[in-house]
Amino acid sequence: MSALLEQAVEAHGGIANWRKRRAVSARLDIGGAIWQVKGQPICSEA
């Protein structure tokens, strides 16, 4: 594990805490003014 990753894991409870977890979920909001220019489709949720 890199030093930066070790710091991040420690800052959020340590590796022992993360090993207790079976799953992690995240909600992302990705987009921006040049999203389409990057070749990404326009997606929207209602």
Q: For 1-46, how does the pLDDT look when each residue is reduced to its tens digit (9 = 90+)?
A: 799 999 999 999 999 998 998 998 998 877 777 877 888 777 765 4
Please give the model's pTM, rounded to 2 decimal places. Answer: 0.46
Inside any domain, residue 45: no
Q: Which of left, alpha, beta for 25 (phi over 0: left; psi -120 to 50: alpha)?
A: beta
**Structural domain includes residue 28:** yes
As separate numbers, helices (DSSP H) first and strands (DSSP E) second, the chain gives: 2, 0
- Asked if residue 13 belongs to a domain, the reply is yes
**What integer pLDDT is reported at residue 33 of this predicted model?**
76
Tell me which DSSP letter residue 5 carries.
H
Q: Name the residue range of residue 22's domain.
A: 1-36
Residue recorded with tokens 């894991």: 9
Report how far residue 18's alpha carbon sits from residue 20's, in angstroms, rounded to the nearest whole number.
Answer: 5
What is the domain count for the chain?
A: 1
Cβ atoms within 10 Å, residue 26: 4
